[in-house]
Amino acid sequence: MARRPFATPGALIVVSSDGYFDVFPPTLRRPNDKPAYRGVLAELGQAVRGSDDRLALRPDSPLLDEAVCDWSRLHGAAAVRGELGPGRNGATV
40 CB-side CA count, 13 A: 11
Which among 60, 89, 84 is positioned nearest to 72, based on CA atoms?
Answer: 84
- Going residue by residue through the chain (93 aa), what tens digit of pLDDT does each one get? 789 999 999 999 999 999 999 999 988 677 788 899 999 999 999 889 988 889 999 999 999 999 999 999 999 999 999 999 878 756 544
State the pTM of this model: 0.88
In this predicted structure, what is the pLDDT of residue 86?
Answer: 77
Looking at residue 92, its pLDDT comes to 44
CA distance 87 to 37: 5
Q: Identify the pLDDT of residue 61.
A: 93
What pLDDT, on the 0 to 100 scale, is given for residue 93?
41
| Residue 14: CB atoms within 10 Å | 18
- What's the pLDDT at 33? 86
